[in-house]
């Protein structure tokens, strides 16, 4: 039986009008869970999706806003999302099974390190963490891993987040800076480079940071060894003339364990080949490298097998 030209013609024309660089086969969709608007995760998620999609045209990563690490972890466990951004302390507790059964997730990439700090108005009389005792402090959005980081840091210096402070948990991460400006909060807690709340407050030169002292850093890391001393380089934020020392951990792009190995492999390859591109889009994402992923993972078996296969091919791990 002969096939009609009228049947073949539409398919032929469809192939002729494919955009440059496109392929006839469908792209592999990858869903990415980020966080609420106003925080650092959606900003990172935008840079990550743009970079991966540019580096590997067979992938189509799309980001969606969620209720931060506290929602992203169960979404990953229930295969409700392919990959998700999870803050370091939240990832540590999930992997270690603290307060819950150990989570079954795998690492795709290390995002960036997050040294934690308080920020206050420049005219604030408060100079140390102890000065903030008994005062209203915005610790971040409920469910954020930064809130967990604050809890560990304060515990390390003998303070309780809820008992020693008038703790404020935000509905939206972006609400914190205005609360400091108008006095509803004496301080805002946050972390890492390029964190929007810090940028918002530092840009007009009317804010400054409060960091743990060297003695406090020693106490914190002695009590919670998964936290590491980290440095915020001078000029990381506007009007920040000096480097600042604190403690923190690495946040991760995590995957559901059922994510196919070939998809994880392509994600790792795209992240690796796109290292310069993602750093250009977002300066703090310059820490998103294959080498940092290998170094930051608590254990090698927590890295997705597809990512490990790519790491071995390029000589990052043996």
The verdict on residue 51 lying in a domain is yes
Mean pLDDT along residues 45-50: 98
Judge if 149 and 206 occupy the same domain: yes
Residue 14 lies in a domain: no
Q: Does residue 81 sit in the same domain as residue 119?
A: no
**How confident is the prediction for the chain on average, in pLDDT?**
91
The confidence score (pLDDT) of residue 1 equals 42
Per-residue pLDDT, averaged over 95-123, amounts to 96
The whole-number pLDDT of residue 10 equals 41
Q: Please tell me whether residues 198 and 103 are part of one structural domain.
A: no
In this structure, the answer to whether residues 276 and 286 fall within a common structural domain is: yes
Torsion of CA 215, 216, 217, 221, to 10 degrees: 110
**Percent residues over pLDDT 90 in the chain:** 82
Q: Output the pLDDT for position 287.
A: 95
> Does residue 293 form part of some domain?
yes
Per-residue pLDDT, 25? 61
Among the candidates 220, 249, 278, a domain finishes at 249
Chain centre distance of CA 194? 11
| Whether 160 and 225 share a structural domain | yes
130: confidence class by pLDDT, cuts 50, 70, 90: very high
Please state the length of the chain: 318
Domain presence at residue 5: no
Asked if 118 and 232 sit in the same domain, the reply is: yes
- Final residue in a domain of this structure, among 249, 278, 300: 249
Q: How confident is the model at residue 23 (pLDDT cuts 50, 70, 90)?
A: low
Same domain, 94 and 153: no
pLDDT category of residue 13 using cuts at 50, 70 and 90: very low
Residue 8 pLDDT > 50: no
The angle, 0 to 180 degrees and rounded to 10, between the axes of the packed helices 88-96 and 145-156 is: 80
Do both 119 and 220 map to the same domain?
yes
Report residue 78: phi and psi, to 5°: -100, 15
Q: Is the pLDDT of residue 271 over 60?
A: yes
pLDDT of residue 200 exceeding 80, the answer is yes
Q: Which pLDDT belongs to residue 173?
A: 83
Together in a domain, 306 and 240: no
What would the pLDDT profile of 154-177 be if each residue is shown by its tens digit?
A: 999 999 999 999 999 998 888 999
| 210-239 residue pLDDT tens | 999 999 999 999 999 889 899 999 999 999
Flag whether 298 is in a domain. yes
Share of the chain above pLDDT 70, in %: 92
What total number of domains does the chain contain? 2
Reported confidence tier of residue 24, pLDDT bands at 50, 70, 90: very low
Is residue 258 a contact partner of residue 78, using CB atoms and an 8 Å limit?
no
* Structure tokens belonging to residue 273: 């080949």
**Do 96 and 179 share a domain, yes or no?**
no
Reported confidence tier of residue 145, pLDDT bands at 50, 70, 90? confident
| Domain limits for position 132 | 114-249
DSSP class of residue 175 equals G
Is the pLDDT reported for residue 140 higher than 60?
yes
Q: How many CB atoms lie within 10 A of CB 193?
A: 21
User: Does a structural domain hold residue 170?
Assistant: yes
Same domain, 103 and 36: yes
If you ran DSSP here, which 8-state letter would residue 234 be given?
T
CATH code of the domain covering residue 223: 3.40.190.10
pLDDT of 16 higher than 50:
no
Asked if residue 264 and residue 243 are part of one domain, the reply reads: no
Examine the fold and report which residue of 196, 224, 249 is the final residue of a domain before the chain moves on.
249
- Cα gap 143→224, rounded to integer Å: 21
């Amino acid at each position: 039986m002969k096939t009609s030209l009228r049947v073949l013609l539409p398919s032929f024309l469809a192939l002729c009008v494919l955009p440059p660089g496109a392929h006839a086969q469908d792209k592999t969709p990858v869903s990415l869970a980020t966080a609420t608007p106003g925080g650092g995760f959606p900003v990172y998620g935008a840079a990550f999706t743009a970079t991966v999609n540019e580096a590997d045209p067979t992938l189509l990563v799309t980001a969606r806003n969620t209720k931060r690490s506290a929602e992203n972890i169960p979404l990953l466990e229930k295969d409700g999302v392919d990959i998700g951004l999870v803050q370091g302390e939240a990832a540590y507790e999930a992997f270690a099974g603290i307060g819950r059964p150990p989570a079954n997730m795998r690492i795709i990439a290390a995002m960036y390190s997050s040294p934690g700090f308080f920020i206050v108005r420049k005219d604030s009389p408060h100079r140390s963490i102890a000065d903030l005792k008994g005062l209203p402090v915005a610790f971040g959005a409920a469910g954020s891993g930064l809130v967990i980081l604050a809890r560990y840091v304060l515990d390390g210096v003998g303070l309780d987040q809820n008992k020693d402070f008038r703790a404020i948990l935000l509905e939206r991460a972006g609400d914190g800076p205005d609360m400091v400006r108008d006095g509803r909060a004496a301080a805002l807690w946050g972390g890492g480079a390029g964190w929007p709340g810090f940028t918002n407050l530092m840009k007009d030169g009317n804010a400054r940071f409060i960091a743990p002292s060297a003695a406090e850093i020693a106490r914190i890391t002695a009590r919670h060894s998964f936290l590491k001393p980290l440095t915020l380089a001078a000029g990381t934020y506007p009007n920040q003339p000096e480097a600042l020392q604190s403690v923190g951990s690495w946040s991760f792009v995590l995957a559901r364990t059922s994510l196919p190995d070939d998809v994880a492999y392509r994600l790792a390859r795209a992240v690796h080949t796109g290292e310069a591109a993602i750093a250009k889009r977002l300066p703090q994402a310059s820490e998103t490298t294959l080498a940092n992923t290998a170094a930051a993972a608590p254990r090698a078996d927590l890295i997705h097998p597809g990512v490990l296969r790519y790491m071995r091919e390029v000589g990052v791990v043996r």
